[in-house]
Structure 1
Amino acid sequence: MKILHTADWHVGKVLKNQPRIDEQRAVLRDLVRVANDEDVDIVIVAGDLFETAAPTPQAQGLVMQTLMALRSEGRHVVVLAGNHDNSRLVQDVYRPVLGELGMHVVGTPQRPDRGGTATFTTRTGEQAVVAALPFLSHRHAVRAAEVLLHNPSQHNQDYANRVRAIVDTLCAGFTSDTVNLVTTHATLLGGRWGGGERAVQTLLGYEVPPDTFPVSTHYAALGHLHRYQEIGGPCPIAYSGAPIALDFGEEDNTSVALIVHVTPDTRAAIRAVPLTGGRRLATLRGTLDEVVAAGEEAGDAFLRVILTQKASAGLADLVREKLPHTLDVQIDEKFRARAQAGAVRSRIGRSPTDLFADFLSEKEIDDPRLGAMFAELLDESTGSR
């Protein structure tokens, strides 16, 4: 049995006011090509289809077209909601619509008999059992545990234990003569960040240990961390990573889809297949003359330029004139003018999380948990989760 594992498409992502939809269209077209060339039996999309909880019609159209193309040739398609997705949109709109086309979509945690676990028979007659758990925020973990476990959840039970109990319930139908798969959107202990993930969901006890997955699992297909990586555990576990570099912290990531070959009697073999279509991101550091010289070798890469010289009028415009693909110009910290004591920084164009970080700095409070808590509360209050 062949499985294509992908995740973290983040369709609709804009980088420094630069739309990425054309790149996303190209790389998702290449993803469909890989599915066809490899003649896979099952496609798993492990969360974060969209960049925001309110995706544009253009973003939704691209995701729908891609999922339908992946479904062609009789392939089974499993789709999860991630932390960037609107879980109710995925569950209440995408699930019934795409379900009519034969896809298995899970937006919110479900009991095994309600869609949390699905059994597929491939074109060659092989059987797979897939346990699917979308992203769980802390505030939804208690309710999910109550729904799936049929008993009141202990409020002092930590997040990792709730996730483990839910996964155990979803995997109860695994047998020795089926290919047993788990897919979820979560942070595993030992995983390496890709650089663009939402920090609040990688702090505050959101991590779960690799032994969350039972030994009867043939393969655990994960989403959330944007760097392709395999993680040691009781079964083969991997993040596919994002199909394009989403931020400059991800410029060294490799864009791939994972092809997993497995049978009921063999350990999963994982192979990374490169994806094309995304533009390279690159950071150039140096004086104006140095970065301009380096930029000549950067091709069509989008650039972040960090200048190691003092700021001057029109400097950023000069960089963009000489390097048209520049999206961000900064002055190295060592060359920035120091703010005078008591100076008031402008709030224009700055996010609430940035302003809260300023407040903590002014109060000389150095605790990253507070910033993460503020970000989570902001997410909840604005309805992005």
Structure 2
Amino acid sequence: MRILHTADWHFGRQLEGRDRRSEQAAFVDELCRIADERKIDLVLIAGDVYDSVNPPAWAEELFYEALERLAAGGKRGVVVIAGNHDQPERVRAAAPLAYKHGIVLLGLPKEAPQISSSDVDGEQVRIVAAGPSWFEIAIPGVEHHAVVLALPYPSESRLKELISESFTQEQMQQAFSERIAMLFAELSEKFRDDTVNLVTSHLFVMGGKETDSERPIQIGGALTVSPSAFPEKAHYVALGHLHRLQKLGEKPLIRYSGSPLSYSFSEAGQSKAVVVLEIVPGHPVQEEIVYLQSGKPLARWKATEGIAQVERWLDEGRDAGAWIELELHVSDVIDPAEFQRLRKLSDDFVKIQRVLVREEREEEAAGERKDLSELQPEQLFRRFYERKRGTQPDERVVALFERLLVDEEGRGDLE
């Protein structure tokens, strides 16, 4: 069985007010192409398909379009669980229609998908058995069934359980991790030697590396789960929540696929991917990381030489096509008109932060303070230009200033 793991689509999310709709639509195209080219049998989407509980209409349309294309007319299985950003009812709203096409939509822990009716033939995906938080799925053309333990974001309120009456972080964390481990231990009894055994959930697992784009899933670490909470009989654990691609265990193989797009500049330089697996019961799991090309990368620029350095980088085509966060070092306040000119140099500037750097002048370091009245006009111009632009003027600019100065003095003599 060939399986694709993805998560944290966050449809509807922006970057500092910039619309990412076209990038998210391009990701759907790329994902469907990967699924077709690699002959994927089952797609696991591990939560946070939306960025908020009330996503824009276009985000819902894009999500349902993705499901329809991935399902391939009922020949490929698709499993979606709700994350902490998702409203469970919204994720599972279309479940009665979706299951007919081999799509499983689960909003809350302990939900069970509908078992396929007897009139579904072997050319369609079928749910052959199911119960709270688990199901067995048959894929056309695949010899082995898959048993999936599916646990959407399991907060106390969504589990409808009071997991701990303690108020200390350590005790709450231990109680939560133990409860999740107990739940998976009970569910893992559904695993068999002749099935592909999978776990998918939306959790914060101890040891995972966070980025700034994840809103906290836990209060002070209280909803943190130990990697040992997952059953050893599982072939693969497909997780959502953390936006960085990372592996947290070998047996079972535990992974976060990460988000398909970079959603904060803390993710600058990260490669985005989906995970493709080939699993045959009784054999080692074959894993492939497929890197994505559809999203614009994020880049951080630190211009210590002022605006002239930024202009040079743009002329050189540095980080072409990326969203850019610019940290601009200047020795004085930038003129508003000059700042607006800077913003217009590139549409890819998402955020510009000015850092005022006041360096001691050489004459001050030597204890030599000169009165401005003692400086020549050309020296005054150089200082003014450096303050406004954050860099030394080109000699041609200085020559032009001197020529203008001479012309002005000549008119003064005539008057």
- Please give the range of the TM-score, normalised by the shorter of the 2 chains: 0.7 to 0.9
User: Does residue 1:95 correspond to 2:95, yes or no?
Assistant: yes
Residue 107 of structure 2 corresponds to 107
Kindly provide the amino acid, as one letter, of the partner of residue 44 in structure 1: L
Kindly provide the amino acid, as one letter, of the partner of residue 294 in structure 1: W
User: Does residue 1:168 correspond to 2:178, yes or no?
Assistant: no
Kindly provide the amino acid, as one letter, of the partner of residue 331 in structure 1: R
Kindly provide the amino acid, as one letter, of the partner of residue 303 in structure 1: I
Kindly provide the amino acid, as one letter, of the partner of residue 126 in structure 1: H
The question of whether the paired residues in 1 share the 8 Å contact of 2:109 and 2:158 is answered with no
Q: CA deviation at 1:86?
A: 1.0
User: Does residue 1:288 correspond to 2:307, yes or no?
Assistant: yes
Residue 34 of structure 1 corresponds to 34
Residue 85 of structure 1 corresponds to 86
Kindly provide the amino acid, as one letter, of the partner of residue 351 in structure 2: D
Residues 163 and 322 (structure 1), Cα distance of their counterparts in 2 relative to 1, 3 Å cut: same
The question of whether the paired residues in 2 share the 8 Å contact of 1:211 and 1:233 is answered with no
User: Does residue 1:322 correspond to 2:345, yes or no?
Assistant: yes
Residue 117 of structure 1 corresponds to 134
User: Does residue 1:305 correspond to 2:320, yes or no?
Assistant: no
Kindly provide the amino acid, as one letter, of the partner of residue 145 in structure 2: Q
Residues 201 and 292 (structure 1), Cα distance of their counterparts in 2 relative to 1, 3 Å cut: farther
Residue 10 of structure 1 corresponds to 10
Separation (CA, whole Å) in 1 of partners of 2:282 and 2:40: 19
Residue 165 of structure 2 corresponds to 155
Residues 316 and 46 (structure 1), Cα distance of their counterparts in 2 relative to 1, 3 Å cut: farther
Residue 380 of structure 1 corresponds to none
Could you list the per-position Cα deviations for residues 323-378 of structure 1 after superposition, in whole angstroms to 9, with x for gaps in the alignment? 2211111123867xxxxxxxxxxxxxxxxxxxxxxxxxxxxxxxxxxxxxxxxxxx
Q: CA deviation at 1:233?
A: 4.8
User: Does residue 1:241 correspond to 2:258, yes or no?
Assistant: yes
Q: CA deviation at 1:168?
A: 2.1
Q: TM-score, normalised by structure 1?
A: 0.80
Kindly provide the amino acid, as one letter, of the partner of residue 319 in structure 2: A
The question of whether the paired residues in 2 share the 8 Å contact of 1:285 and 1:291 is answered with no
Residue 365 of structure 2 corresponds to none
Residues 211 and 233 (structure 1), Cα distance of their counterparts in 2 relative to 1, 3 Å cut: farther
User: Does residue 1:19 correspond to 2:19, yes or no?
Assistant: yes
CA-atom RMSD in angstroms: 2.0
Separation (CA, whole Å) in 2 of partners of 1:233 and 1:35: 25
Q: CA deviation at 1:202?
A: 7.4
Residue 46 of structure 2 corresponds to 46
Q: CA deviation at 1:219?
A: 0.4
Residues 53 and 307 (structure 1), Cα distance of their counterparts in 2 relative to 1, 3 Å cut: same
Kindly provide the amino acid, as one letter, of the partner of residue 328 in structure 2: L
Kindly provide the amino acid, as one letter, of the partner of residue 65 in structure 1: E
Residues 88 and 155 (structure 1), Cα distance of their counterparts in 2 relative to 1, 3 Å cut: farther
The question of whether the paired residues in 2 share the 8 Å contact of 1:241 and 1:255 is answered with yes
Separation (CA, whole Å) in 1 of partners of 2:225 and 2:150: 16
Could you list the per-position Cα deviations for residues 274-308 of structure 1 after superposition, in whole angstroms to 9, with x for gaps in the alignment? 22221111111112222332233121211111112
Unaligned runs of 5+ in 1: 147-152, 336-385
Q: Please say which of residues 257-266 and 95-104 is displaced more in the overlay.
A: 95-104
Separation (CA, whole Å) in 1 of partners of 2:261 and 2:17: 17
Residue 135 of structure 1 corresponds to 153
Separation (CA, whole Å) in 2 of partners of 1:130 and 1:46: 12
Residues 318 and 170 (structure 1), Cα distance of their counterparts in 2 relative to 1, 3 Å cut: farther
% identical equivalent positions: 30
Q: CA deviation at 1:200?
A: 4.8
Unaligned runs of 5+ in 2: 113-129, 167-171, 359-415
Separation (CA, whole Å) in 1 of partners of 2:41 and 2:197: 14
Aligned 1:171-190 pairs, distance under 5 A: 171-190=188-207
Structure ID, larger Rg: 2
Q: Please say which of residues 253-262 and 289-298 is displaced more in the overlay.
A: 289-298
Separation (CA, whole Å) in 2 of partners of 1:78 and 1:35: 14
Separation (CA, whole Å) in 1 of partners of 2:333 and 2:182: 55
Separation (CA, whole Å) in 2 of partners of 1:154 and 1:52: 28
The question of whether the paired residues in 2 share the 8 Å contact of 1:228 and 1:256 is answered with yes
SS in 1 for 2:94: helix
